[in-house]
Structure 1
């Protein structure tokens, strides 16, 4: 400002001096007047340029201010810096908003924004999937018209009429009287939400909650509880199955004991009853043993890389057990044909006892269900991608396709009576699958009704080693 004042004073003095030189006092007066008018015109032109620059639309580049003089030049520079700082803040806020929206889009929980009338303002991909909606097509549509569920409609209506938490806290509490209506469970519904069953793609369980925010707006949150609901259902079924499996032999034992205590029996009958009781006790002992094995597998840390065993040494052990089991189960009728192949030089990194249990389970199932004279083939194979595969195939009756996917569930049986007669506990395949998963592998089941089945355990390449001349390398 001092420089501008100095420039104005110098200009007026110079104009007055020039006028004085030309025409004495009248010339000096005219010179000062003309100089003042000229400076004012320059100031007006600068102001017009700056105002024209500011009137430009936001889509145009305002970073280059006009060339003006005096105070307007400083004002334009300051405006340019302020606008640059404002644009930087807007860009930073936009980047944060985009990052926030990306995070919400990546969330497995559904997020939906509703206006004061219940219309959809925005929703993420999970909410679209949960309610089978389209974010673009269903924008500003009323959510009650899209989610046709009576429970959801009642919950939405109650929540849209409810006051925000701040207003409820500020409002005086009223005691129930003749003019008050108390709705049981409304507070719990507001705080805990509701549970919906959806069949958009497959049956799913959704937990839905509404929260007020802003000026009458609502935040709708949805969470997929399908896996948890299935886990709870499996847990209930597991407890029920365990109780049933344990109660059955106990009931038989109690009946035999009561018979032995109350009836005079001959030695042959007593021996037969004791033999039946021993079988029931063995069955209960096998069931408890499998339950303990499964519990240990689920609660134990995954096997490390410090334990390794040779496949052929383990194969000799389960081969001997398989021969004995086949001769015991099918003592009457033609003998079964058992073949064991592969495994030379193959080492597995992991727990030997777990793999022996898994392999034995598959072999014993094939022997029990193949019948007399059946064929059971056991093999170890190194696949082209380096994985190792243990496979057991038989020519038994096979399994219907609707049962194959559930065979590894606990206590799942295709034929309950036949499974119990064969001595199975219903946990063998569950244990086998758990062993495979603990080693990073998988259990594969292929079966054709009337032609036989094939059960395979895949071992990842990181846990398979081929040993040649004392040197180990990845399979």
Structure 2
């Protein structure tokens, strides 16, 4: 049954409705008394103004004033008008401004009337005084005149002035003017004495002045009547009544609206009261239910309180027994609580720890500033999830242990607190180290059988056991390809493990940015050509860094190869280097690929990370290249960063500390830049075209080329840094080159320096100068093939022609060495890639015969490494059992290169290739063994 509204509530609602209706029906806009009082004041002002003007008129006509028209009366009117500035409050601001303007106009007119009245009264007083003195002037003038018409006219003038009415200024003026005219006519033709003339002049002047005074007074009075203040008072009343009527109309409309709103409000109140009545009944029922539940809850709370006490005891036990140290800090970073595990970690009692600064207590003094700042930043973090950092921590006994610090800011009653969870990572670090050693060991153990498997598969693929069926050959090729991929993956994992364990040793030497960029582009040119991508170098100035050349080239090669992979055909990749504003050398690789989404940038440098886009997955890769590159750059003190927008390519860049070269003294010649990874050739010629030709030819073959445009520059360059070879033009404008060469031969330091002379013919100006001074004469125009061959022979170590045979199969090596030794060559054997690289660096060979499938480092890696050093111009025969694609052939290229397949190339073809590439060395082996280096043609 629904509850009903009580009679009292209904009566209250109905009474409120009736009261509101009555108020709005009987209400009036503003206060009626205030309106009546103000209107009465306005009317009184109008009446007083009219009475004042009437008294002024009475006084003018000579009647008795009823109220008065003195200055005090005007002041009283002004005071009344100023009192009217206190206007009724119901008038709007605009109405008050309009009414104020009317009051100001009334006051201005009132003030003008007072001034005019004063002026008129002053003129009247002057008129009266002058008129009273006028008879004397008449008598004085008549006394000076003889009897006659003139004298009679003077008396007539006096009578007109005295008898004319002052109240009729116009009549007075006309009569006086007429008398003066007659006086002038009577005076015509008469001879007057001086006294008579003076008396007549005074009389006429006074008469005219009386006329002017009376007219001026009349004009002032007329102006006063024309601009009556009572008219302004009437206008003021009219303005107020109009404003009051407008205000009343607005109030009436507002009253109607308020009445409607109030009516709706009362209806709403009635509805609320009905609902409240219903709610009251429901609340009554609810209260009865709550009473029963309160009793139940009271009993439950008693049980919960006992359980909470037990829970607090358990929490305290957990805090005491926690294996992690728990430290509570106040807002200043001082220790407030220190649990037993923290005491064990830091070897410090809680009593000594409480009150101490946590960072000073926990962090060792030797901690790097950057790591200390990261811990401090984690402590200061106020919002978000808990901050977790790893940092060495200091024990009270001076020992240091690795720890994981988790900072959690707790906000509650009172000042904020920070809880620090300290976890000792000593055991975990030990396990990680054991894991890394295990991975390294397993990787090494896996690589040996995988190499054998790859070699066997390569032999099978090459047809060593005969031709295989097509399906079997496809299966072997698939197995060999995946084996090579697995070997590369293991090598990359080993590199990462070495870097993370700190076992990777960097050979830090001064490096020029230009050389690093140039070497990188030479290494990936074949890959770019296959992908139809253009490589461009943009090196500003000659910046230098100190770093491991091979590792930095590995980083740049990785970045450039990735850029080539993801660039469209016809696109370009720019490798740039410049000195940044902070003085560091900045390297960048920019491509025109599809770009990288922002949400995926953080995944780029993780292990085994590949972007999920389908075109990215189609590019292949292990996902370790960028992680390895990041680790290498970090060990050099930098960090790789990437800037990319989808659809606009990407730019990978990193910065290294600049190695500043000492400033040269004034007038000094820049030294020949040394590059231990390449042969340095100094070209001495004044011919710019010849220099450009030689630079392009030799740079393409891997030589480092420096030009001296004058003989003086050449002398300075050789004295500063000895090149590996000289190419001199005998036609220098500033001296005799051959004399300088002769002096070089006399010095122990430059006695063995190879010199190639460029001349029109071999006897031009060289009488007495022969082979003991020069390695070879080269006629101009230069024969490029002969120049390159002569340089290679000149810079090799003297002795028998050396052939490096690299194959993991001992039988194959023995067979090949026997064949080459019959040609007169000295064979050096290498069974794996690392040995091949070491032997090629220690004893540079004249020819390399290389198998691709090698243990430790495969043929591709061997070629990549040699291409980054002085071995980049070494002739190469790739003798392998696998079929090489065009891309493989481009990657397996050093100097003059031949690609032969074991299953398809005959023994004769191999021997002929060796004889061709060792052309000249085999025929000269006996001479080379006996003659000194300088006599080498």
TM-score by length of 1: 0.44
More contact order relative to length (CA 8 Å, sep ≥ 6): 1
Q: Which protein has the bigger strand share?
A: 1
TM-score by length of 2: 0.24
